[in-house]
Each structure stands twice: as C-alpha cells, then as structure tokens.
Amino acid sequence: MDYVHVDKILFPVGNGSTEPLYAFLSNSEYAVIKIFNNTEGNLALVNEYICYKLAKILKLPIPDAGIAYIDNNTEVSANVSITSENYGPCYFSKRLDKVVIVNCSVIKFISNKQDFYRVLLFDHLIYNKDRNVGNLLVSLKSDDHRFYAIDHTHVFKNECIWDGNSLLRGIEDNDYKDTNIIDSNKEVYNYFFQSMFINERVLLETCTDFKSRLTKSLLYDIISDIPKQWNVNSSDLNILVEYLTYRLFHLEDICEVILSNIRR
C-alpha cells in the first residue's frame, strides 16, 4: 500500500501519552501524527487505525485520518527528537482549526448533538474507557458548530497492551455487562446527559444502524490493511475480530447497561 509522506515534522502537540507531533504531509495536509515506535508502543497505532476505520463505517464525526510514512527525507525541526528507529508507517489525523474542548459553555451551540448517540455506543463497542474532554473537540467556525471525536489510543479493554488472551477472557467474562466504560467516561458524557434527553428509541435505532453497517468481513478487511512493520500478531488480530463481533452481537444488551446507568 502506498502511504502519504511526512514532509516535515514541526513541533510537539504538548499533551498525550503517545507524544503526538504536528506535521506537514505530502498531500498538503496539516496533521497530527503518532510515530512508529512511540512511547506507548505500536499497538497505539493499531488501535487508532482500526478505530478510525470503524468510526468512518459507523458515521461518527471524526477528522480524516490514515497512515503516513516517515523516512530520512522527512525534515525534522530542531525541537523534535526523531531517530531512524521512528522511520516507518505512522498514524496521522487531519488537524482541526478553531476548536475547543467540549465544555458547559459550548455544549448548547453544538449542531450535531444527535451524533452523541453514535459516540456513546461506539465507545462501548470498542471498550473505550478513555473518553474525556480532551478528545471531544467542538468547532467554533462560523459555518461549523459540530463536535468531533479524536484519540482512540486506549481501547479494546486493555488499551495498549491487549492481546488475544485478554480479549478471550473478556468474552468468557461476558464483559458486555461491564459498567466501567460509562463510569469512567461520566465526566464528558454528563455534558450531553444534562443538555439533551437520552431517548431509548433513538439509542436502539442507532444500535440497529451499527449492526446493519458493520460486518465481520469488513473487520477482516480493516485488519488486513495494518502495516506489517507495526508487528502485531495475526492471531491476536483475528481474536480482536471475534471480540468486536461478540460486542456487536450484544449491542442491545449494552444499550440496556447504558440506560440502566442513566436511570440510576
């Protein structure tokens, strides 16, 4: 597969466990990149790429993203430390301009609040306990007041250290019943819970929509595109497909977990 080239790495974003960087790409995009052999390991890149592809299939509001390539032709600014160990495929996400983190002042102006149902279910599908105010961004552009979901590094229950065995344990433990996700993400979810009525019918319709869009065949297509340099075990990836299929199968049950928690 041909990847867009990282032409110039500018400077650190300044937050994030993977130490993301601002960069210019060969397609003229200004992007945020997470590099090969970053501090969280290459499963962070795998997680980001898989979740981005899933998010696009499931119609989540998410910036355009993909895989780029760093090599010895990449210009690196003096305040960035890159070595040949970081050469190879990295993950990039298009940088969003004029955005703020979600907060009580901007929540009322968000034009796509109904997409929160998708984000809420998506977080439960991918077992994302790391949804926080820093990864829901609200556009302040005059023609765009949408919110966007970013940063899906810490997912699939065990975040950047998951493997096939941990996923199989999740299936055996019926972890679709867990309240960890909604409990851990309550701070950012509450902005939406307090500003809109969570309609059971809409949540279940979103669940049905997810099931109509996502198939096991599509999941296999996604993992087949993961760069071999990221060195993730093929058996683990196949089990991840089974894990996501299992969680998709139980999505109505997950809806009930969500609704029961909201009613408390």
Is there a common fold for 4-94 and 99-263?
no
Amino acid at 111: S
105-131 average pLDDT score: 97
pLDDT of residue 16: 66
Q: For 246, how many CA atoms within 13 A lie in the half-sphere containing its CB?
A: 19
Cβ atoms of 160 and 154 closer than 8 Å: yes
Q: What is the H or E stretch that residue 45 is in?
A: helix 43-57
pTM here? Answer: 0.96
Region 9-23 average pLDDT: 86
Give the C-alpha distances (Å, rounded to integers) separating 58 from 10, 29, 51, 213, 241.
Answer: 32, 24, 10, 7, 16
Cα–Cα distance between 191 and 62 in angstroms, integer?
Answer: 19
**Domain spans, the chain:** 4-94, 99-263
- Residues facing residue 31 across a β-bridge: 23, 94
CB 109 within 8 A of CB 99: no
Query: Given this model, what pLDDT does residue 254 score?
Result: 98
CATH fold for the domain made of 99-263: 1.10.1070
Segment 176-220, tens digit of pLDDT? 999 999 999 999 999 999 999 999 999 999 999 999 999 999 999
Classify domain 4-94 at the CATH topology level: Phosphorylase Kinase; domain 1 (3.30.200)
Virtual torsion, Cα 43, 48, 51, 57, nearest 10 deg: -130
